[in-house]
C-alpha cells in the first residue's frame, strides 16, 4: 500500500511538472489548469465508480483502475470476501443451531423484553399451535391464555415449574420453565409431562384414599386403647406400659395420616379456596399460647412481635397449619430454657413472618431438601420428637398456594430462622415499611 501511495504521489508530481513546463513554454498558465482539472475529473469518476460499486448488493468484480485506486479496490474486495465468508460461516452455525433446536422434543420459545415472540422451534408448533406467518411478533399471552400461565409470567417467580394443559390439546399436560437473560428477555422451555402427571395423580389418589381408609380403623383402635388403659389395674405395669406405647404409636400414626390428608387436599384443590382477610395477630397469639402449653417443662421463652392491625388475604386453615408447623418445630427442637421469637412485619416487598430459635440448628447441607416429604436430616431427633416428616412440606405447599416463598437459615449449634414471604397482593392494608 505504501508503494502504491508513493507511485501515485510521483505520478501527480510528474503531471504537475509536465503541466508547468507546458505553461512555461507557451507563456500561459492554462496548461497547468487543464492538467489539474483533468486529474480532478478523473478522480471524481473514480469516486463515482467506487460509490456505484459499494451500493451494489454484491461486491464482486470491482471497477478497473490503476495506481492507488486500483490498490484500493483490491483491498476492499478482499475485505468484502472475508466478510462474506464470515457471514456464511455464521449463517451455517445459526442454521445448524436451529436444526438442533428443531430436533428437540421440548418446546423452546424466545420472547423479548416486552413479551413478544421472537423465535420458537418445531415442537412449539406441534404442542402450542404456533404459526410462523401469523404469530411472530405477537404477545405470548395472546396465544397462551391460561390464567395460571398469565399469573406465572406476571409474578416472575420461576423457581418452580408450571404445569398447564396444552393450548391445542387439553389432554396433554406441559411443564414450563423460564430462564431470564439479557435485558428482560426470557427463554421458555416446555416438555410433555402427561404420563408423569397421570402417574403423580395416581400416587396422590392412592395416598389420599389409603390415608382416608386408615383414619376410621385408627380411631377405633385408639378408642379401645383408651378404654383398656382406663380398666387395667395399676399393678399390671408391663401391660400398662405396652398399652401406653401402643397408644403413643397410634397417636403418631394418626398425626401422619392427618398430615397426608392435608397434603393431598393442598395438592388437589383450588388455591383460592376459602380466601378471606385473616387477622394475623390473633392467630399467632393463640399459637403462642398453644406453644407455651406444648413447651410445658421445657420452660421456653416465646416472644411475639406482631402488629395488632396485621391482616393477610389467605385461607385461614392453611395459614394456621403452616404457621403452626413452624412454631411447633421450634418448640420441639429448641432445648429447655431456649428462646423462640415470632415476628411479623410489612414493607414494600410484602408481608413477612419469621420464627427464630436458638436451638440445635441444621447443617446447611440439608437445607435444600428440608421441604421434601419424609426427609429427615437427623432420624434420632425425629424419633425423639415424634415428627411425621411432613411439616415443612405442608408449609412449602401452603406458601406456593399463597404466591409466597419459604426461606430457611440455620447453623449447627446456633439455631434456625424460618421466614415466610407473602407478596403485596396478599396484604389487606399496605402501610409504609414497619421494620426490617
- What are the residues whose beta carbons fall under 8 Å from the beta carbon of 291, sequence distance 6 or more? 300, 302, 327, 328, 330, 331, 340
Q: Are residues 394 and 303 in the same domain?
A: yes
- The tally of domains found in the chain comes to 4
| Same structural domain, 304 and 405 | yes
Residues in the chain: 436
Residue 121 and residue 47 share a domain: no
Domain boundary residue, one of 52, 82, 98: 98
Domain housing 39: 2-98
Q: 98, 120, 137: which is the final residue of a domain?
A: 98
Q: With helix as H, strand as E and coil as C, how does 124-172 read? A: HHHHHCCCHHHHCCCEHHHHCCCHHHHHHHHHCCCCCCEEEEECCEEEE
- Domain-located, residue 431: no
Q: Which burial class, exposed, middle or buried, applies to 10 when counting CB atoms under 10 A from its CB (0-12, 13-18, 19+)?
A: exposed
CB 381 within 8 A of CB 333: yes
- Grid cell in block for residue 181: 437473560
Q: Which one of 192, 223, 253 terminates a domain? A: 192
Tell which residue, 307, 355, 366, has the closest CA to residue 331. 355
Report yes or no on 434 lying in a domain.
Answer: no
Same domain for 170 and 205: no
286 and 399 within one domain: yes
The gap between the terminal CA atoms of the chain, to the nearest Å, is 69
Q: Strand 162-166 vs strand 169-181: parallel, antiparallel, or unpaired?
A: antiparallel
Read off the CATH number of the domain in which 206 is found.
1.10.287.130
| Cβ contact 327:334 at 8 Å | no
CA distance 327 to 37: 97
161 and 253 in a common domain: no
Q: What is the CA radius of gyration of the chain?
A: 39
C-alpha cell at 103: 430436533
Q: Are 390 and 374 in contact (CB under 8 A)?
A: yes
CB atoms within 10 A of CB 128: 21
DSSP 167-207: TTEEEEEEEEEEEEETTTEEEEEEEE-HHHHHHHHHHHHHH
Beta strand segments in 208-285, E: 276-279
Residue 231 located in a structural domain: yes
CB 278 within 8 A of CB 320: no
Are 280 and 420 in the same domain? Answer: yes
- Provide the 3-class DSSP secondary structure of residue 416: strand
Please check whether residues 310 and 375 belong to one and the same domain: yes
Kindly report the pTM of this predicted structure. Answer: 0.59
187 occurs within a structural domain: yes
> Is the same domain home to 59 and 83?
yes
Q: Whole-angstrom Cα distance, residue 310 to residue 285?
A: 12
Residue 366: inside a domain: yes
| Pair (319, 419) in one structural domain | yes
Within this chain, do residues 297 and 352 fall inside the same structural domain, yes or no? yes
pLDDT at 433: 42
**Residue 252, in any domain of the structure:** yes
**Hey, how many other C-beta atoms are within 10 angstroms of the C-beta on 337?**
10
Residue 222 lies in a domain: yes
If asked whether residues 217 and 125 sit together in one domain, one would say no
pLDDT for the residue numbered 377: 72
Q: What local confidence, expressed as pLDDT, does residue 435 receive?
A: 37
- How far is residue 321's CA from residue 185's CA, in Å, rounded to a whole number? 38
Query: What local confidence, expressed as pLDDT, does residue 326 receive?
Result: 92
Residue 343: inside a domain: yes
Q: Look at residue 345 in the predicted model and tell me its pLDDT.
A: 93
Pairing of strands 339-347, 301-305: parallel
Which residue ranges in the chain fall short of pLDDT 50?
432-436
Quick count: other Cβ atoms within 10 Å of Cβ 344?
21
The CATH number of whichever domain residue 149 belongs to comes to 3.30.450.20
Amino acid at each position: 500500500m505504501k508503494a502504491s501511495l508513493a507511485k501515485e504521489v510521483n505520478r501527480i508530481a510528474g503531471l504537475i511538472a509536465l503541466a508547468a513546463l507546458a505553461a512555461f513554454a507557451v507563456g500561459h498558465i492554462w496548461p497547468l489548469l487543464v492538467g489539474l482539472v483533468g486529474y480532478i475529473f478523473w478522480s471524481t469518476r473514480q469516486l463515482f465508480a467506487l460509490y456505484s460499486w459499494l451500493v451494489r448488493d454484491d461486491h464482486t468484480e470491482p471497477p478497473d483502475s490503476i495506481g492507488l485506486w486500483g490498490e484500493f479496490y483490491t483491498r476492499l474486495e478482499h475485505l468484502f470476501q472475508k466478510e462474506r465468508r464470515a457471514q456464511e460461516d455464521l449463517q451455517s452455525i445459526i442454521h445448524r443451531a436451529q436444526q438442533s433446536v428443531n430436533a428437540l422434543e421440548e418446546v423452546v420459545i424466545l420472547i423479548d423484553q416486552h413479551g413478544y415472540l421472537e423465535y420458537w422451534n418445531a415442537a412449539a408448533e406441534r404442542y402450542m399451535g404456533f404459526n410462523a406467518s401469523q404469530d411472530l411478533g405477537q404477545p405470548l399471552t395472546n396465544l397462551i391464555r391460561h390464567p395460571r400461565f398469565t399469573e406465572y409470567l406476571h409474578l416472575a417467580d420461576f423457581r418452580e415449574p408450571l404445569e398447564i394443559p396444552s393450548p391445542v390439546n387439553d389432554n396433554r399436560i406441559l411443564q414450563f420453565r423460564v430462564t431470564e437473560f439479557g435485558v428482560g428477555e426470557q427463554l421458555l422451555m416446555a416438555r410433555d409431562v402427561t404420563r408423569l402427571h397421570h402417574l403423580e395423580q395416581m400416587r396422590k389418589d392412592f395416598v389420599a384414599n389409603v390415608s382416608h381408609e386408615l383414619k376410621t380403623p385408627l380411631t377405633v383402635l385408639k378408642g379401645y386403647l383408651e378404654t383398656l388403659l382406663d380398666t387395667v389395674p395399676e399393678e399390671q405395669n408391663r401391660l400398662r406400659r405396652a398399652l401406653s406405647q401402643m397408644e403413643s404409636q397410634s397417636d403418631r400414626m394418626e398425626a401422619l395420616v392427618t398430615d397426608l390428608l392435608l397434603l393431598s387436599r393442598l395438592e388437589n384443590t383450588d388455591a383460592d379456596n376459602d380466601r378471606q382477610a385473616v387477622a394475623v395477630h390473633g392467630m399467632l397469639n393463640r399459637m403462642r399460647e398453644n406453644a407455651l402449653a406444648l413447651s410445658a417443662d421445657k420452660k421456653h421463652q416465646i416472644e411475639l412481635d406482631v402488629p395488632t392491625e396485621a391482616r393477610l388475604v389467605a385461607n385461614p386453615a392453611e395459614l394456621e397449619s403452616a404457621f403452626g408447623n413452624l412454631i411447633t418445630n421450634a418448640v420441639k427442637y429448641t432445648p429447655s430454657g431456649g428462646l423462640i421469637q415470632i415476628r411479623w412485619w410489612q414493607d414494600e416487598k410484602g408481608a413477612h413472618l419469621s420464627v427464630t430459635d436458638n436451638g440445635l440448628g441444621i447443617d446447611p447441607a440439608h437445607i435444600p431438601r428440608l421441604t421434601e416429604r419424609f426427609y429427615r436430616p437427623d432420624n434420632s431427633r425425629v424419633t425423639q420428637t415424634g415428627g411425621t416428616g411432613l411439616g415443612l412440606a405442608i408449609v412449602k405447599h401452603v406458601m406456593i398456594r399463597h404466591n409466597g416463598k419459604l426461606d430457611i437459615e440455620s447453623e449447627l449449634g446456633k439455631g434456625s430462622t424460618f421466614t415466610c414471604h407473602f407478596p403485596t397482593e396478599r396484604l389487606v392494608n399496605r402501610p409504609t415499611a414497619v421494620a426490617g
